[in-house]
Amino acid sequence: MGSSSVNDPNIMEEGGQQLDHVIGDRNVAERSRMLLNAPQPPGLCSEFVSSVKDIVNLPNGNKSYSGEKKKPELKQHVGTVLRGLFPILSWGRIYTLSKFKSDLMSGLTLASLSIPQSIGYANLAKLDPQYGLYTNVVPPLIYALMGSSREIAIGPVAVVSLLLSSMVQKIVDPVEDPTGYKRFVFTVTLFAGTFQAAFGLLRLGFLIDFLSHSAIVGFMGGAAIVIGLQQLKGLLGFTHFTNNTDVISVVRAVWRSFHDPWSPHNFILGCSFLIFILFARFLGRRNKKLFWLPAIAPLISVILSTLIVYLTRADKHGVRIVKHINKGLNPSSAKELQFSGPNVGEAAKTGLICAIIALTEAIAVGRSFAAIKGYHIDGNKEMVAIGFTNILGSLTSCYVATGSFSRTAVNFSAGCQTAISNVVMALTVILALEFLTRLLYYTPTAILASIILSALPGLIDINGARNIYRIDKYDFLACFGTFLGVLFASVEIGLLIAVTISFSRIILNSIRPGINNLGQLPGTNNFCSTSQFPMAIKIPGVLILRVESSYLGFANANYIRERILKWVTEEQENEESKENARTLQVLVLDMSNVLNIDTSGIHALEELHKELVSLDLQLAIASPTWKVMHKMKISKYMDIIGSGWIFLTVSEAVDACIGSKMVISLPC
């Protein structure tokens, strides 16, 4: 009898099932203990120190084979910090002559485009021409030491130049007080660089993301049109023109200027070379071997137009020219910075706006070309690098510099290998400042206007706007609103609209997050939204809800609690209306998406628990994240709900409810 009972297959199968059930319960209990006994998450100071270490690539310590940490030597620490701050120390060791040949060619090609563009952008920023050239000397050299992008070309750009002139001239008039205007621009540049470096060191790159891609597309398009209209002054040779940047004021100024004496020679000269530059760009796109032609076309235009004006004395017949450009290297501007007076706050505000716009353009350009080459650049390190280029630039008579898309494209097409191309370009500009400034005296302003106009089509992304409209109508609203704000109000209003729409969407999603009802996919242990997967099976007696928010706090806690109670009420009413339906017994709250919680969120959970108890329902929490788990422990909320009702996964929570015989599962 004993032998037969021991060998009975039914008894053995039943015993095996019981053993599996016991082992499964032990595994669940073990995982629950791991969840409940997780170590304390790092605090604010630890996160800041970790961020700084990430910036400079500082290791936390080397591990030996025994698992013990070995303290790195001081030399290793210093070397790691220096390589983190100056990437040139890493790739400079493997730099070869063949790479230098490529960088030399691309740097010279880049300089041929940068010299005329920089003079034009300085004019757009309402500064003397030499300041555009100065900005192509120090910032590129600093970036070559600290930047991680191989292709990006650093210098003045059209959008930042327009932004500076539109904001600064409201505080200091560049005509009445050119010295004060220049000093204010240098101060703004210092503030911009300081903000940029701080963003990188504190890992605050998310601030740039408030200007979404759609907002940038609209901003660039509106700015391109405004810049183009502004160039009508140089292209047509107008003497009197408006300082406003909205399209209505500019069109009105153009209309009034036609009634004043003006020289058509400016228009003929400018349009002729504009057609030449655009035709050279067309040939360069048709034939990749002619990539150098659109790059040197602006320089050829400057040389030829200057010769024409000099030989024909066209400046005596109404053609407006650049005239004097200061010779020599960047003078020091440290003593010209202003840290006192009523306009310091305005300088900081302007610097912050310029910092964000400049960083947005530079990082977008750098990442685009890095993706083509198959490598990655760290946005926070780029912020630090660009920040220091502008900090040191403000001390050497430079205004805000950033990465230029058009010049970066030329640098890439010319075959640059490293940031040495920026060094070659800067050295070439130094030679131009030393030996070519007298030759640029007769350069017509119409040519500078035509060079800027030729670069504007690249700022208008019509296909991008169409894609935004097809993908997300709300994003298109941000794009179109920013475009109209820049075009019909001002650059600042356009940026304000962009930030407002972006913030409104973030706030709306934060204070009104979604609550999804989950069901079990047939044949699996996966629980998914019943709206997305209609075939998902609801567990009788169990309501499973997932909070679709990364933060449960003061802004959305009460809303989430009310939505959960609404779901509970509707579920109870639905079950009461069905015959032989299992009454609701357990609410499983999936908190896998909730990354953090504050005291208001804890209080909302306590209120939710009280209301569920009054309805004779049990609350179970599944998949709490690290910080949420820690705050539930220190707030004693776990004592209220009971540690036995906190689970690693939704599946384990449902199995525990079924195992406790509170609910009965349906076969899948």
pLDDT for res 565? 95
Q: For residue 620, give the amino acid letter.
A: A
Return the CA Rg of the chain. Answer: 33
pLDDT for res 20? 47
pLDDT for res 661? 55
- Residue ranges of domains in the chain, CATH in brackets: 2-40+512-659 (3.30.750.24), 96-190+208-334+353-505 (no CATH)
Kindly report the average pLDDT of the chain as a whole number: 85
- C-beta separation of 572 from 541 below 8 A: no
| Start-end of H helices in 374-472 | 379-394, 405-413, 420-435, 445-455, 462-471
Of residues 396, 359, 348, 335, the one with CA closest to residue 171: 348
pLDDT for res 580? 56
pTM of this structure:
0.74
pLDDT tens-digit profile of 21-61? 444 555 666 666 667 777 777 776 766 666 666 655 555 54
What angle, rounded to 10 degrees, do the helices at 405-413 and 344-373 form?
30
Alpha carbons within 13 angstroms on the beta-carbon side of residue 161 total: 29
Residue 606 pLDDT greater than 60, yes or no? yes
Rounded to the nearest 10°, the torsion over CA 308, 310, 313, 318 is 70
- C-beta separation of 502 from 215 below 8 A: yes
Helices (H) then strands (E): counts for the chain: 28, 12
Q: Considering only residues 557 and 38, tell me which one the structure prediction assigns the higher pLDDT.
A: 557
| Start-end of H helices in 489-546 | 491-511
Of residues 269, 259, 276, 258, the one with CA closest to residue 320: 269
Of residues 403, 459, 458, 464, the one with CA closest to residue 223: 459
pLDDT for res 290? 84
What single-letter DSSP state applies at residue 291?
Answer: T
Residue 343 pLDDT greater than 80, yes or no? yes
pLDDT tens-digit profile of 154-177? 999 999 999 999 999 989 999 899
- C-beta separation of 138 from 388 below 8 A: no
Averaged over 537-566, what is the pLDDT?
93
pLDDT for res 192? 97
pLDDT for res 28? 62
pLDDT tens-digit profile of 360-370? 888 888 888 88
